[in-house]
């Protein structure tokens, strides 16, 4: 019994820190509001356009993550498999804030040659959440 209680406590402590895409996105909303006074919520449509655009460079998000974010992709340089990006297809996505920040920084630099804005990140997640 004591073991069970300990196990439950460990589980509860773990879940208190678990993150999901919607929660991460709500943090972005506050940042977007302070960056853009006219901010009126995230848009999945804008997010999809963003996902498919090459932003004037060679790559788009879809280059590695494919046209369908629920599918596995291939790293365009190394050919290694990239697991699905949409949380519906891969529940591990957007559950670790360090990982999210790391990959936004890297991939925004790769595709846009700059950091993404909070609105762009929120739109992007809004789109991913519509993918089933």
Partner 1 sequence: MKTLLTALLIAASAPALAGDHAYGPFPANYVSECGSCHVAFPPQLLTAPDWQAMMNALDKHYGVDAGLEAKPRAAIADFLQKNASRRDKHASTVQAPRLTQTVWFRKEHGNLPAKATKTLPAAAQCESCHTAAERGDYNESGLKLPAGFRHKER
Interface residues with partner 1 (CB under 8 A) are 75, 77-80, 98, 102, 105-107, 109-110
Taking the complex as a whole, the smallest distance from the CB of residue 17 to partner 1 amounts, in Å, to 18
Taking the complex as a whole, the smallest distance from the CB of residue 99 to partner 1 amounts, in Å, to 9
Packing angle, helices 118-130 and 21-35, rounded to 10: 150
In 3D space, the residue among 100, 104, 101, 111 whose CA is nearest the CA of residue 53 turns out to be 111
Taking the complex as a whole, the smallest distance from the CB of residue 67 to partner 1 amounts, in Å, to 20
Taking the complex as a whole, the smallest distance from the CB of residue 11 to partner 1 amounts, in Å, to 22
Q: Determine the 3-state secondary structure of 96 from DSSP.
A: coil
60 vs 107, beta carbon nearer partner 1:
107
Q: Which residues contact 114 (CB under 8 A, 6 or more apart)?
A: 108
- Strands 73-74 and 81-82 come out as antiparallel
52 vs 105, beta carbon nearer partner 1:
105
């Amino acid at each position: 019994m004591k073991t069970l209680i300990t196990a439950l406590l460990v589980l509860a402590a773990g879940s208190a820190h678990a993150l999901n895409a919607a929660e991460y996105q709500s943090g972005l909303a506050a940042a977007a509001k302070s960056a853009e006074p006219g901010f009126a919520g995230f848009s999945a449509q804008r997010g999809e356009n963003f996902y498919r655009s090459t932003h004037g460079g060679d790559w788009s998000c879809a280059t590695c993550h494919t046209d369908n974010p629920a599918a596995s992709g291939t790293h365009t340089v190394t050919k290694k498999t990239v697991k699905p990006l949409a949380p519906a297809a891969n529940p591990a996505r957007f559950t670790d804030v360090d990982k999210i920040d790391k990959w936004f920084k890297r991939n925004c630099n790769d595709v846009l040659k700059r950091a993404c804005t909070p609105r762009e990140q929120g739109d992007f997640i809004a789109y991913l959440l519509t993918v089933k």
